[in-house]
Structures are given as C-alpha cells and as structure tokens.
Amino acid sequence: MGRATKDRGLGQPADPTQEERAKGGPGAQQQEWPGTEGEMHPKADHGEESYRGSGRLEGRRALITGGDSGIGKAVAIAFAREGADVAISYLSESDDAADTVRWIEDADRRALALSGDLIDPAHCRSVVDRAATELGGLDLLVNNLAAHWEQEGLEDVTDEQLERTFQTNILATFRVTRSALEHLERGSVIINTGSVVALRGSPTLIDYSATKGAIHVFTKSLATNLSPRGIRVNCVAPGPVWTPLIPSTKDEEEVAEFGADTAWKRPAQPAELAPAFVFFASADSRFCTGEILAVTGGSTTR
C-alpha cells in the first residue's frame, strides 16, 4: 500500500500558508551547492500528498536524470503513480534520492537510484545500461539534469564554470540520449527539460541560458531525426521553480525575491511541472513531437 494522500486533484500542489501568500517568495536562505531538500524552507511540494495517477503510463519504464529532488523528483512520483517503473540518476544527494525511491515504491512500482557524475561519458552509458537491465528495458527518458551559477557579466564566467555548465547541461544530455537510443523502440518518448531563459535570455546566467537554448534546438532536431523510428521528442521549459538549486546558487536576497517576476509573484512548486511531463510521456500527446511547452507562470509575457 502507498502512503495516504490528500485528494486535492490531479497534480495540484499543497495550498500555501497565509504567511507564504503574504511574502510571495520563499524567504532569505542559502545552502552549499548542490543543495538538499532537508535544508529548504518551506519544503518543496513534489506532489507527495496530491498527485493522483490514472494508469496513463502503465507498464512503461523510465529513466530520469537529476531525479533525486526538484522537478525530477516530482516527475518520478507522477510517473510511478501513472504506472511506470522508474530509475533515477543523481550526483551525491543520497538522502534525497532515497526519499524519491521510497515514494516510487509506495506506488508499488520498481525503483532504482544510480549515483555518480554524468559529466563522465562512461557513467552516462553505465546509467542507461543499468537502468535498462534492471527495469527490463526503457520506454521513457527524461533529461532533467542541470546546474548553474550566476555571474554579473561574461568576464566573470571562468573556463572551469563554463566547461562544467556545458558538460552537465547539454553534453550529458547528448550522451545519455545517444546511449538510450540503443534501448528505445517505436512508441518510446524522450522529454528534455529546457528553461524560460532559453526563450528570453538572462543577463546573469549567460552560460546556462546558452545550454538551455541548445537543449531546445537539440529537441527539435532530434524529433525530426527520430520521427521515422516512431520515437517522439519534446521539451518542457519551466520558469522559476523552487528546488535545492536555487538556495545553493543564489545569495539570500536573490532567494527571497525568487519568482517575484511571475504572474503569481512566486516560484512554481515542482508538483506544478510534473503534469506537463506526464502529458508528453503519455498517449495524450501522441501527435506532439519537437514541441517546447513553456510552463513559466507568465514569465515569457513580462
């Protein structure tokens, strides 16, 4: 039996408290990179108590990179409750990964957590092959892994940061996908996590924006390339989302104002992104490929 859930409707996040409504953003706080859920306040909502599945991914087998926390965790929970077995990859946040595994297993689905750094090409292949072996194949790939560090100008972006950002965000995505194609068959789906900054740019995230722009174009190019094989490729482009990446890469004042530029004056909760990934993973989107779905809280219109 899974954990009891409160029926707030499909994919609806927990209602914010009166205090959270009043202040909008999460409040000033900071962590060491890469950050953990345990130190976040308020806690992020991944749909643990709200997401209700309806069997749309029954029998499917998914690999989600960066699946230990944030959007990846919310997608893992949603996929499991829709009937999929789920493997997640993560860097080193073992407590967060273990909690994600518990939620997948509470949905009576198989779970697998694979640690390590995907900037290593050999590890990219290892993660894919282990996931396919343990789950008995792969049908769904979610490329969600990402990292960023803010800088005031281009001259402040060191070679070390530049290479780490590109290795993590786009080269790992390329390599994991390339390895996964050995296992994906007709009817399989690839979903990439893009960003609002790929649509409008960011003066303080120049390298990150460039990698997310690359992911958007990678999505469209790969969709065309794989359509004869019956494999769909789409992308979800989130706006500001409350994840451990935020307090671990921004200063306290920036965290306090995070999400204030959306129509709702707050960042999204990961649970508010998960339904978009379920849509692309399921037959509901069978006519969609090469699409960029922006879930930004109105950020692209402001």
Q: Given a cut of 50, is residue 123 above it in pLDDT? A: yes
Residues catalogued as catalytic: 208
5-23 pLDDT tens trace: 333 333 444 444 434 433 4
Q: How far is the C-alpha of 263 from the C-alpha of 295, rounded, in Å?
A: 12
189-214 pLDDT tens trace: 999 999 999 999 999 999 999 999 99
pLDDT given at position 9: 36
Domains in the chain, number = 1
Q: How far is the C-alpha of 13 from the C-alpha of 5, rounded, in Å?
A: 12
Q: Is residue 196 part of a domain?
A: yes
pLDDT mean over 260-266? 86
pLDDT given at position 245: 67
Q: Is residue 44 part of a domain?
A: no
Q: Is residue 159 part of a domain?
A: yes
Q: Given a cut of 50, is residue 242 above it in pLDDT? A: yes
Structural domain boundaries enclosing 171: 56-301
Q: Is residue 119 part of a domain?
A: yes
Q: What is the DSSP string of 139-207?
A: SEEEE--------SSGGG--HHHHHHHHIIIIIHHHHHHHHHTTT--TT-EEEEE--THHHH--TT-HH
Q: Is residue 38 part of a domain?
A: no
pTM: 0.87
pLDDT given at position 213: 98
Q: Is residue 22 part of a domain?
A: no
